[in-house]
């Protein structure tokens, strides 16, 4: 994978103040707030379409586990609304399915 992205460092800057995780498919940025979890999708630095996408997100906070459904909420983002524990140390696992592609699992850890 080395050398494939000459500008990989630039790709992974949070554009929305969230946590960025790069996968082989695309980059995901999670913005976690107590009432809404927003997942932004970027394909090599450009916003990626979430048309027809679906997903779920699992929130692991200590021994608590919660699940929420991610639904498209704009051109390049998925959202889950509810009441979430989003303190430091919280781990979140998002599973995103884009049309015609295999589901992608993305893990986030809040600091």
CA distance 24 to 87: 28
What is the pLDDT confidence band of residue 11, given thresholds at 50, 70 and 90? low
Examine the pLDDT at 8 and tell me if it is beyond 70: no
Average confidence score pLDDT of the chain? 89
Share of the chain above pLDDT 90, in %: 74
Between vectors from CA 97 to CA 95 and to CA 100, what angle results, nearest 5°? 155
State residue 80's pLDDT score. Answer: 98
What is the pLDDT confidence band of residue 7, given thresholds at 50, 70 and 90? very low
Q: What are the strands, taking DSSP E only, across the chain?
A: 19-22, 27-32, 36-43, 46-47, 54-61, 64-72, 77-81, 91-97, 104-109
State the burial class of residue 74 (Cβ atoms within 10 Å of its Cβ: 0-12, 13-18, 19+).
exposed
State residue 98's pLDDT score. Answer: 92
């Amino acid at each position: 994978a080395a050398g494939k992205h000459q500008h990989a460092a630039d790709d992974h800057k949070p554009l929305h103040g969230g946590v960025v995780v790069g996968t082989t498919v695309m980059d995901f940025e999670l913005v976690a707030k107590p009432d809404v979890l927003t997942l932004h999708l970027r394909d090599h630095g450009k916003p990626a379409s979430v048309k027809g996408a679906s997903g779920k997100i699992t929130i692991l906070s200590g021994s608590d586990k919660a699940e929420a459904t991610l639904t498209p909420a704009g051109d390049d983002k998925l959202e889950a609304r509810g009441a979430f524990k989003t303190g430091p140390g919280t781990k979140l696992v998002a599973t995103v399915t884009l049309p015609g592609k295999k589901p992608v699992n993305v893990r986030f850890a809040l600091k």
